[in-house]
Chains A and B, each alone.
Chain A
Amino acid sequence: MPATKFTPSITSRPVYDGLTPHGAVPALMLANGPGGEALLELIKTDPTIPGHAHVIYIPEGCGFGKTLESKGFASYFEAASYASVLPRFRKLLAEAGMNTRLYLAGTEGLIGQATSEALEAGMLPEAIDAEHRGSLARRMQCVHCKGITENVTTDPFTCSHCGLSLFVRDHYSHRHAAFQGVCVDAETPGEIPPRQEIKA
């Protein structure tokens, strides 16, 4: 699957420039689903990369794990979910030096969360490469209960925490790595517009 292209209509949504090789420097790589393919394409351009790179891959049903594992990375770890691998990712960040680069590939939710984690650890944005691959589904924060609903594909949708019907706003929060969802029937309770698929 090729890199995901967006319509430029949502100004707050981050645009990721894609992965570019930075040679044989210490690197952390984190990818989910089709993002695994982006890592494979990256190391094809520069075979000196894997020897210095620690990889975490969350397959989410994609079959790139076997190939990735065979590429001779400094370490390779497969995880069930971002939440389950977060302690390991934090430990890798805590042990990283100033010359470490971070490569992120996969869904917007993964890139956003991992970026804010890396910035929190003190990494500078210029040391992070990211490439969006895969679904256009959005990670949504309910502005009322603050709960996060992952993989939202329709507008409106039901908050998985408080159950309100939420309108999907084109307002991305870098801090939360999520779009904002606002109650759609606050003024007219029960009057919920028909669900539509999110196309961008």
Chain B
Amino acid sequence: MSAQMLRVTEIEALSPLVKRFRFEHPHGAKLPLFSGGAHVVVEMPDGDMLRRNAYSLISDPQDGSGYEIAVRREDGGRGGSRFMHACVRQGDMLRISTPLNLFSLDMRARKHVLIAGGIGITPIIAQMQQLLRMQGRFEIHYAARSRREAAGLRLLPDLPHIHAHISDEGRRMDLGAILDRQPIGTHVYTCGPEGLIASVAQCTERLGWPKGSLHSEVFLAPPPGRAFEVTLARSGRTITVGPHQSLLEALEEAQVEIDWSCRGGACGRCETEVVSCHGRIEHHDHWLSEDEHSSQTRIMPCVSRFRGRELILNR
């Protein structure tokens, strides 16, 4: 995973829980351009721990002068977002990966319907800038609980085809009304809680949309759980994964070479073969198929855990 050290040049509170960060090259060099929906992985040296979190880029994809992200503080999370909020100061240097896009616009579309829930607005901000530049036909539907919490409102221009659905103002998002009667060539992109993504999938299925017109992204934080042990077939070593650590992080700590990209169960890079499994793999990823999940022959170490007697991986 290629990455470079970038300087934090701006920090701005967008809402009580969301901060915007801007990163620039220390010598003002241009950064690689990206496409709407791309994310970067931010490395956070937190004490003797190295945290790595993926964040969608919210800046203009055609602007190489800097990268911007918006981070929501998750007080119940594992600490990455708390670190960004509490410890990162303007002028700090952080290691930022090259952008990667797992949620790009489908260029076959004649119309794009972008649906965001809460902080899920972030990739859609960059997609919107790409669409504005290419004069694409689109509409945005952004759902938030309250105007105060809706950090995305600060990032969205006031345009007639950009709609905010604020539930405590009595304007809940009505997916049926949004999706019914869309013309052929419409593609829908959803980013937000898993419940929202599932609702869009159900609604489009009920309306008879072809599945290929659906796109979604959900980044999972590695869920905590009970500590467990894993045996590595190639070296014969056994390592322990802590309750708040992911299997991927434990492998990295043990200096096991492993490729990764999104660290959120979406990209498939860290897929690992299971040699033997006596117990149950707790799959949390969106990468493996249901059959692969139930066969317990593959695991995504970035988000999935294990409970049982013995798990041997081909690593």
User: Which listed residue (B111, B208, B211, B212) contacts A99, Cβ 8 A?
Assistant: B208
The answer on a CB contact under 8 Å between B212 and A124 is yes
B residues less than 8 Å from A93 (CB atoms): 184
> A97, B210: Cβ atoms under 8 Å?
no
Contacts of B176-216 to chain A: CB distance below 8 A: 179, 181-186, 204, 207-213
Is residue B109 contacting chain A, with contact meaning CB distance below 8 A?
yes
**Pairwise interchain contact A98-B182, C-beta atoms closer than 8 A:** yes
Interface residue A162 (Cβ < 8 Å from any Cβ of B): no
Cβ contacts under 8 Å, A99 to chain B: 207-209
- Complex contact B184–A97 (CB within 8 A): yes
Q: A122-B184, A122-B185, A123-B184 are in contact. Are A98 and B212 (CB under 8 A)?
A: no
* Contact pick for B208, options A25, A94, A95, A123, CB 8 Å: A25
| Chain A 120-140 interface 0/1 with B at a Cβ cutoff of 8 Å (1 = within) | 011111110000000000000
Closest chain A residue to B207 by CB distance?
A99
What residues of chain B lie closer than 8 Å to A123, measured between beta carbons? 184-185
A122 & B210 in contact (Cβ 8 Å cutoff):
no
Are A98 and B186 interface neighbours, CB within 8 A?
yes
Judged by a CB distance under 8 angstroms, whether B172 is at the interface is no
A122 engages B207 (CB within 8 Å): no
**Nearest CB on A from B212, distance (A):** 5
A98–B209 CB distance below 8 A: yes
Measured in the bound complex, the distance between the Cα atoms of B186 and A123 in whole Å is 9
Q: Out of B108, B110, B181, B211, which one reaches A97, CB within 8 Å?
A: B181
Give the residue of A95, A97, A100, A122 whose beta carbon is less than 8 angstroms from that of B109. A122
Please name the residue on chain A nearest to B111 by beta carbon.
A122
- Indicate whether A192 reaches chain B with its CB closer than 8 angstroms: no
Q: Which of A105-122 contact B (CB under 8 A)?
A: 119, 121-122
A85-108 vs B, CB cutoff 8 Å, 1 = contact: the mask equals 000000001111111100000000
A98:B110 contact, CB within 8 angstroms? no
B82-117 interface mask toward A, CB cutoff 8 Å, 1 = contact, 0 = none?
000000000000000000000000001111000000
Let me know if A127 and B210 touch, CB within 8 A: yes
| Chain A contact residue count (CB 8 A cutoff) | 17
**Which residues of A sit under 8 angstroms from B212, Cβ to Cβ?**
124-126
A100 to B182, CA, bound (A): 11
Residue of chain A at shortest CB distance from B188: A98
The answer to whether A121 and B184 touch across the interface, beta carbons within 8 angstroms, is yes
Which residues of chain A have C-beta atoms less than 8 A from B184's C-beta? 93, 96-98, 100, 121-123, 127
Given the complex, which residues of A lie within 8 Å of B186, measured CB to CB?
Answer: 98, 122
CB proximity to B under 8 Å, residues A22-56: 25
Within the assembled complex, what's the spacing in Å between the Cα atoms of A121 and B111? 11
- Contact residues in A for B111 (Cβ distance below 8 Å): 122
Give complex CA distance A95, B182 in Å: 10
Q: Are B210 and A126 in contact (CB under 8 A)?
A: yes
Inter-subunit contact A121/B208 (CB<8 Å): no
Specify the chain B residue showing the minimal Cβ separation from A95.
Answer: B183
Known: A121-B110, A122-B108, A122-B110. A97 touches B182 (CB 8 A): yes
Closest CB of chain B to A155's CB: distance in Å? Answer: 35
- Chain A hits for B110, CB < 8 A: 121-122
Chain B residues near A119: list those with CB within 8 A: 108
Min CB distance, A99 to chain B, in Å? 3
Which A residues touch B109, using CB under 8 A?
122
Closest A residue to B180 using CB positions: A97
Give the CA-CA distance A119 to B108 in the complex, in Å: 8
Residue of B nearest to A96 (CB): B184
Q: How far is the CB of A190 from chain B (nearest CB, A)?
A: 47
Interface centre among A95, A98, A122, A125 (most CB of B within 10 A): A98
In the complex, A125 Cα to B184 Cα: how many Å?
12
Cβ–Cβ < 8 Å partners of B213 in chain A: 98, 124
Q: Cβ of A98 and Cβ of B211 under 8 Å apart?
A: no
Residues of chain A within 8 A of B207, CB atoms compared: 98-99
Known contacts A121-B110, A122-B109, A122-B110: A96-B210 contact under CB 8 Å: no
A117: min CB distance to chain B, Å: 12
- In the assembled complex, 20 residue pairs joining A and B whose CB atoms fall closer than 8 Å, in A order, are A93-B184, A94-B183, A96-B184, A98-B183, A98-B184, A98-B209, A119-B108, A121-B110, A122-B108, A122-B110, A122-B185, A122-B186, A123-B184, A123-B185, A124-B108, A124-B210, A126-B210, A126-B211, A127-B184, A127-B210
The residues of A with any CB-CB pair to B shorter than 8 Å are 25, 93-100, 119, 121-127
Measured CB to CB, the residues of B under 8 A from A are: 108-111, 179, 181-186, 204, 207-213
Q: A97-B183, A98-B208, A124-B213 are in contact. List 11 more A-B contacts (CB 8 A).
A: A25-B208, A95-B183, A98-B182, A98-B210, A99-B209, A119-B108, A122-B185, A122-B186, A123-B185, A124-B108, A125-B212
